Structure formats: structure tokens, C-alpha cells
Amino acid sequence: MPQAPNGEEKKRSESLLKHPLVILLVGTSLSYIFIPWISEKSSHKRLLQEQRINLATEILKQGLQDDQQLSSIHTAFAIFDKQQSAFPGDPSSGKQIRDNFSRLYGEFDQHAWWWYHDLTVKSRLLGLPVEGQKEIEKLQDLYRQNLVNSAQQVERLRVQFCAKSYNPDDPRNAQVLGETKKALDELVIERGAIVSRMSNVFMPSQW
């Protein structure tokens, strides 16, 4: 049966543990274990922060592109109507505006409905809390509905100005241009607020 250490042995053990060399060795060993782990964790956190900031900036850029494309569509119809009022009777003008509209709307369609689809996945990969992930899902739905409403205004323009029966003297031309401009301006403000909220969700809290 092992005997308990006597008082003299305990003193020697305590003295040994307090020895500067022992303390240095223990400290060095702990440093080798914990410093790389702390450094790696800090680097990972910093990388996530950088990626979140990059994504937040990209969201703002993508939203701005949607704004520009919708504005270009409305401007194309406004210019067409002015030209037709000033120089009526050009038989090729109808085909030109239809082709122009197809190109502009095609660019909008390829971009607007798709760029935000993977934000939910990115919110998980970038370590957003559950509340942040749910907020992104909610904002995606709001953004999608805004695009639907914007597309409805574009459809009003298409029906009015791309019809073969288009008449440059029709008083409804100015009415449709004015009403759709007002609606699209309101939608761009609403969309900008949604995009800003999306971007803010991804921004690190300490920034």
C-alpha cells in the first residue's frame, strides 16, 4: 500500500513546481497548444467578416443593376413615343421598339430574378445566426414581390407601345408613361430599402 508523501517530500514537490524553469516549460507547452488554435480561430473569424462585407457590397451593386435596367426600359418607350410624335409614319419604328424592348427586358429577366436566390445558402455558410437567416428569407420574398409589381408596370408599357395598333396621337400614351414612371419610382425606393436591409444583415456587428 503506497504511503502518503511526508512533509519534506511535499515541500520539495511544491518547490519544484514553483521553479522558474518548470513554469517556463509549462507555459511554452501551453503556448504550443493554444496559440495556434486561437490564431486559427481568429483568422477564420476575420475571413468570415471579410466575406460578409464583400457580399453586403455586392448586394447593393446587384440591386442597383436592377434599378438601372428597369429605368432603361421606361426611357426607351419614352424616347420612342417622342420620336413618333415628332416624326410619325416610319414603318420600321414598330419593329425597332419591339426588338429594343425584347433585348432590354431579356437582360433584366436574366439578372433580376436570379441574383438573390442563393443568399439564404450564403447566410448559412457565412455563419449568420438563425435570426439573420430568417430575415434574409423574408427580404427575399419582399424583393421578389417588388419585382413582380415592377414587371406589371413594364407590361403596361409593352402593351401600349409595342402594339401594332400604336397611335402616336393617342392621349393614353402620355398617361401610361406618367403613371408607370410614378409607380416605378415608388418601387425603386421600396426596393432600395429592401436591398439595404439585406446588405445590413450580412455586415459584421462590430463594423
Summarize pLDDT for 77-129 with one digit per residue, the tens. Answer: 999 999 998 887 776 788 899 999 999 999 999 999 999 999 999 999 998 99
pLDDT score, position 172: 97
> What is the mean predicted confidence (pLDDT) over 1-18?
53
At 21, the pLDDT band (50, 70, 90 cuts) reads: low
Tell me what the mean pLDDT of segment 182-207 comes to: 91
pLDDT at 22: 47
The answer on pLDDT for 34 being more than 90 is no
Residue 76 confidence (pLDDT): 97
Let me know: does 184 contact 70? Beta carbons within 8 Å: yes
Cell numbers at 23, concatenated: 513554469
Q: How far is CA 101 from CA 70, 72, 73, 176, in A?
A: 11, 10, 7, 16
Beta-carbon contacts of 198 under 8 Å, excluding residues fewer than 6 positions away, are: 59, 63, 116, 119, 136, 139, 143
Q: Is the pLDDT of residue 56 over 60?
A: yes
DSSP for 60-76, written as a single string: HHHHHHHHHHHHHHHHH
- Is the distance from CB of 94 to CB of 168 less than 8 angstroms? no
Residue 74: closest CA among 156, 163, 142: 156
Is the full-model pTM beyond 0.85? no
As a whole number of angstroms, the distance between CA 77 and CA 179 comes to: 13
Q: 49: pLDDT confidence band, cut at 50, 70 and 90? A: confident
20-31 mean pLDDT: 54
Per-residue pLDDT band for 46 (boundaries 50, 70, 90) equals confident
In this structure, the number of other CB atoms found within 10 A of the CB of residue 198 comes to 24
Q: How far is CA 207 from the centre of its chain?
A: 17
pLDDT for the residue numbered 207: 43
pLDDT confidence of residue 44: 61
The helix/strand/coil state of 91 is: coil
The type of residue at 174 is A
Q: Which residue has the higher pLDDT, 164 or 174?
A: 174
Structural domains for the chain: 50-202 (1.20.120)
